Amino acid sequence: MEIKVLKDILSANDQIAQRNRALLEKKNVFTINVMSSPGAGKTSLILETIRKLKNKVSMGVIEGDISSTIDAEKVKREKVPVLQINTGGECHLEAVMVNRALDNLPLDDIGLLFIENVGNLVCPGEFKLGEDRKVLILSVPEGDDKIYKYPLLFHLADAVVINKIDLLPYTKFDLEGFSLALKGINQKARLFQVSCTTHEGIEDWTDWILSSMQLQKRRGRKKP
């Protein structure tokens, strides 16, 4: 006997992600899921953002790594609440892991929460966490062809940050070509060019975060 199911395999994860989202909305926490391959600069961009915005907004960080607390220690030095998730082998964060982490963060004191996903350009795309925005970082040394090799994450991102632009003169990275390719598969994504080493472009990026937070607040107020 054949039984029609027609259900998304990851619906259980999506439901928990919705629960996370509801909790974060209630606590007025704006949440950004930061994704990239290993070494593209997720932690560096988060640290740069903390330094730039610490007088304007209270922040918190969830660090996702397969093992170690190296990134969490770096964030702790900036005196920001941080929680390390060690996935123990899993190549991405799942909503249930974030759910447990949220229980252990002072959400009443956080206005902007970064969730640093496990370094990977494939798997994190499938798993919603309850975030307001998905941000993808691509660093110049990785090459401009990654958008064709891993289209899903580029398609889903609300913003794409090109990091390490100080290295542009030493590579064949084609910014114009990349920008056109991104427009091709994702019309909504904002594109930022930054260097966490020279601090170039960081302000454009932090301005976008602040305006996205404002937008979200206005939308929130309109709700019945």
Binding region for another protein (CB under 8 A): 1-13, 90-92, 94, 120, 122-123, 125-127, 145, 148, 151-152, 155, 180-181, 183-185, 187
> Least distance to another protein from the beta carbon of 155, Å?
6
Joined together, the tokens standing for residue 48 give 């740069």
> Least distance to another protein from the beta carbon of 78, Å?
31
List residues bridging with 112 in a β-sheet: 30, 59
Q: What is the DSSP letter of 142?
A: G
- Mode of pairing for the β-strands spanning 159-163 and 133-139: parallel
Beta carbons of 86 and 68 less than 8 angstroms apart: yes
> Least distance to another protein from the beta carbon of 40, Å?
17
60 vs 124 by CB, closer to another protein: 124
Beta carbons of 59 and 116 less than 8 angstroms apart: no
Beta carbons of 26 and 18 less than 8 angstroms apart: no
29 vs 101 by CB, closer to another protein: 101
Beta carbons of 107 and 27 less than 8 angstroms apart: yes
Q: Which residue has the tokens 């930022």?
A: 192
6 vs 218 by CB, closer to another protein: 6
92 vs 134 by CB, closer to another protein: 92
> Least distance to another protein from the beta carbon of 122, Å?
5
